[in-house]
Amino acid sequence: MSVVNLTSESFDEEVLLSDKTVLVDFYADWCGPCRMVSPIVEEIAKERDDIKVCKINVDREPSLAARFSVSSIPALMVFKNGKAVRSEVGAAPKSAILSMLE
């Protein structure tokens, strides 16, 4: 499955109403650690059909960043049944990201 780029308009439908676990990557194009995490997130999206992987550009969607109190990036959040159940801030290896999904 490919990564879904989210906007304020698509967030609720794609994440909160999803029947799958959703991994959301809050990022910015200028952020070095975000650029390190991005290929890992995309790899996970290709490998795992059981989850949905989404990205939110915090510069384009500041209201979504504010809604989830994202003040540092990269920030990864896992949503299940419409609720944020895990979150991590900062660059993380693939193993750490995968463990968030368990």
Which residue intervals of 27-93 are DSSP H helices? 32-47, 62-67
Question: Is 34 a catalytic site residue?
Answer: yes
**Catalytic site residue from 15, 31, 54, 75:** 31
**Catalytic site residue from 23, 24, 34, 45:** 34
Q: Can you tell me which residue has the tokens 């997130």? A: 41
Rg (CA), the chain: 12
Question: Is 54 a catalytic site residue?
Answer: no
Return the active site residues: 31, 34
